Amino acid sequence: MARINFLFILLSTTNILYVFSQFTNPSSYSLSPDASCGNKNGTEHNFYCPNYDCCSTNGYCGGSTAHCGVGCQTGYGNCGIPNDGLKSIETCKKNKTLAFSFDDEILQQIYNDGHLIGAHTWSHVHLGRASPEEIDFQLDTLDLAIKRILGVKLLYFRPPFGESVMNPYLRKALIRRGYKTIALWDVDTRDWATDSATAMAGFPGLISDLKPHISLMHDRINTTVDSLLPYAIETAKKLGYKFDTIPGCNGQHNKHDWYRVIGKPEKRDYKTWHCNPNDMDSGIL
């Protein structure tokens, strides 16, 4: 698969303080198995979100402004953002800048090319259903791998599915490990849900307001790499957008805010240093 820029994009949301309120799950509903929830395309799913996630207008659990703002389907989950210093970024600040947010794995080249690499857990689990031990495992296993491959500690984190960003245990676990920023997105190409023709057809409308954006895509989807991304870049250029990384488009140009250097890249030892694709949890958001 071709590689693309892991343009992380983040942004910076102003500190919005949501008030936590008690959420009681209706007994006829069950916990979402796959991040779908509430009413989705007019169909009642009877699924509620894990603690600290809201159910968006489109019927997905998560903790971004899109999930927790006016689109929140109350009754299926509640959001709240603790004022603990860990900030979330969902879009760019600079006018007409666009950043793409990917999952990716060709790390050294991406790192050397100046893109932002952020953590995305070890095996792409649903953090809303993970125990504290599982959350620790997901963060520590990835941190060790990145230390070996790049010699750095990552400071940006993007939760799979955008889930659980307000989960107090997860936030404490991130802060304890030195993470500074949670990277989310404000524009979703839905490449994970539709075919590439549909995603391409929808893309211009996502950025035609010419506002700064962080756009979600997935490099594990071949058609995203081969078709959607080139089309998105051309489309954005024609509209006058410039591209930047997530920190860059939020004015954070100092690499010390992106990574902490804690060693040197190590030589790969094939006995203890490997990934098992079967580790991967289902889902690619």
Cα 31 to Cα 151: distance, rounded to the nearest angstrom: 39
* Binding window for Zn ion (CB under 5 A); candidates: 56-64, 77-85, 100-108, 135-143: 100-108
**Cβ neighbours of 50 (radius 10 Å):** 21
Rank residues 53 and 103 by Cβ distance to Zn ion and give the closer one: 103
Q: Give me the least distance between CB of 217 and Zn ion, in Å please.
A: 10
Shortest CB 183 distance to Zn ion, Å? 11
| Closer to Zn ion by Cβ: residue 225 or 241 | 225
188 binds Zn ion (CB under 5 A): no
Cα of 257 vs its chain's centroid, Å: 18
Residue (77 or 159) nearer to Zn ion, CB: 159
Cα distance between residue 268 and residue 63, in whole Å: 37
Least distance between Zn ion and beta carbon 124 (Å): 6
For residue 97, which of 89, 85, 108 has the smallest C-alpha distance? 89
Calculate the CA 14 to chain-centre distance: 18
Q: How far is the CB of 42 from Zn ion (least distance, A)?
A: 27
Considering the rule CB under 5 A, would residue 103 count as an interface residue with Zn ion?
Answer: yes
Stretch of residues binding Zn ion (CB under 5 A), selected from 33-41, 83-91, 96-104, 180-188: 96-104
Show contacts with Zn ion in window 126-165 (CB under 5 A): 160
Number of residues that bind Zn ion (CB under 5 A): 2
Per-residue x/- mask for Zn ion, residues 35 to 74, rule CB under 5 A?
A: ----------------------------------------
Q: Whole-angstrom Cα distance, residue 56 to residue 62?
A: 7
Burial of residue 108 (number of CB atoms within 10 Å: 0-12, 13-18, 19+): exposed
Task: Tell me how far, at minimum, the Cβ of 36 lies from Zn ion, in Å.
Answer: 16
Which residues make up the interface to Zn ion (CB under 5 A)? Answer: 103, 160
